[in-house]
Amino acid sequence: MGFMDKVKESAAAATAVAKDAAAKGQAKVGEVQAKRGADSVLRQLGLAAYLQTQNRAPSTVESDIEKYVEAIKEYESEHGELSADESPSA
């Protein structure tokens, strides 16, 4: 095996490693974005529930709450169940 063959082989191996790292990084970004979306829906759900207890909720509050609950169920079906131990993403 000549010197150039070794260089090409090393470059190909480095490219494969870089592509793998990029794919893993992209997957992690997707997970973080999904978690932030769920956190936002949970905040909206909490606000709707609070406003409802204070008799300041809009007339659409019950349908809004149903919509938020469905969004959280969808998140859980794709990413696993949420727990009270999880801290919100910052």
How confident is the model over 44-86, as pLDDT tens digits? 999 999 999 999 999 999 999 999 999 999 999 999 999 888 6
In a domain, 21, yes or no: no
For 22-36, the pLDDT digits (tens) are 999 999 999 999 999
In a domain, 85, yes or no: no
3 dihedral zone (left: phi>0; alpha: psi -120 to 50; beta): alpha
Q: How many domains does the chain have?
A: 1
Whether 79 and 30 have beta carbons less than 8 Å apart is answered as: no
In a domain, 40, yes or no: yes
In a domain, 20, yes or no: no
Count other C-beta atoms under 10 Å from residue 7's C-beta.
10
In a domain, 65, yes or no: yes
CA dist 35 and 57 (Å) reads 26
Residue 57 structure tokens = 């909720």
In a domain, 62, yes or no: yes
For residue 85, the model assigns a pLDDT of 82
For residue 89, the model assigns a pLDDT of 56
Range of the domain at 62: 27-79
In a domain, 86, yes or no: no
For residue 70, the model assigns a pLDDT of 98
